[in-house]
Amino acid sequence: MTPIIGVFDSGFGGLTVLRALLERLPQARFAFLGDTARLPYGSKSRRTIAHYAVEGAQFLVREQGAESLVIACNTASALALDAIQDAVPVPVLGVIEPGAAAAKAASRSGDVLVIATDATVHSHAYAAACHAQGMRALEKACPLLVPLVEEGWTEHPVTGEVIRIYLDELLSHAAADGLRPDALVLGCTHYPLLRPLIERAVPAGIRVIDSAEATAEAALRQFDGRAAGPPPDPSQESSVRFFATDSVEKFGRLGSRFLARPVRNVELVDLGG
């Protein structure tokens, strides 16, 4: 049997990372946990986020036998990656470093914009990761985008208008700071669903970087030996077990939009909160 890759998220958005992982590791086995009873993490404090994320990571490792973990949530990666790494004895990959590395590969000016949740922005995790790669980053919290995605308004004119307002503020701020940005990192796993509207709103010359895609690439490099397992058996298909801490019916229904394929047999988990 191939080892299990645990994928953790505060809710549904991490399914965009799982989707990218499934495309690249077609024979791997996954256990996905969405902590939907306590979502969203993006408006909460570091202490609370770390407490919740560690419980989720421990469930995947201890109860599900995951031998590596992907933290498919920007907020948890930004505020709790160290706490998770301390709490479980397996390799842990977050979404921030791969996102920053992808921005580095895409940017010529070295000036990068990042949009994310409140908590991710206030942690300045992307700014630090970009700085460590020799880039300058300007971050902006866009708290309405997650609710708009969850309302299903991914093609709605109101969403387009909200994106334009946020990007105008960000671009004005960048200009005032003397930045010449040529890359925009989607620093929240919900945002890939808004990519068409975002692409339309950014000025020409700014590339949109999806950290979900970048994280799947990094996982492929980091976990490939473990995940592929010798020898590859072409008859074996990838398998995913889904766990959620709140309504499994809602997880299946909303989750299918993020995974772009049906999410079935979701199991309810009680993490004690």
Q: Which is nearer to a second copy, 144 or 228 (CB)?
A: 144
Footprint on residues 10-39 left by a second copy (CB under 8 A): 36-39
- CA–CA separation, 230 vs 28, rounded Å? 12
Q: Which of 89, 134, 262, 272 is the binder for a second copy (CB under 8 A)?
A: 272
Three-class secondary structure of residue 65 per DSSP: coil
Q: Which is nearer to a second copy, 154 or 215 (CB)?
A: 154
**For residue 150, what is the enclosing H or E element?**
helix 145-150
Footprint on residues 147-206 left by a second copy (CB under 8 A): 147-148, 150-151, 153, 158, 161-162, 165
253 binds a second copy (CB under 8 A): no
In sequence order, the β-bridge partners of residue 185 are: 114, 209
Q: Which is nearer to a second copy, 180 or 253 (CB)?
A: 253
CA-based nearest residue to 181, from 200, 161, 163, 204: 204
Q: Least Å distance between CB 157 and a second copy?
A: 8
Q: Which is nearer to a second copy, 35 or 213 (CB)?
A: 35
Are the C-beta atoms of residues 74 and 49 closer than 8 Å to each other?
no
Q: Establish whether 142 is a catalytic residue.
A: no
Q: Which of 106, 247, 256, 257 is the binder for a second copy (CB under 8 A)?
A: 247
C-alpha separations of 15 from 109, 235, 260 in Å: 32, 24, 9
Buried b (16+ CB within 10 A) or exposed e, 53-68: bbbbbebbbeebebbb
Q: Which of 23, 26, 45, 131 is the binder for a second copy (CB under 8 A)?
A: 45
Task: Give the contacts of 102 (CB within 8 A, at least 6 positions apart).
Answer: 185, 209, 210, 211, 213, 214, 217
Footprint on residues 59-78 left by a second copy (CB under 8 A): none
Q: Active-site residues: which are they?
A: 73, 188
Per CB under 8 A, residues contacting a second copy are 36-39, 43-45, 48, 143-144, 146-148, 150-151, 153, 158, 161-162, 165, 245-247, 250, 272-273
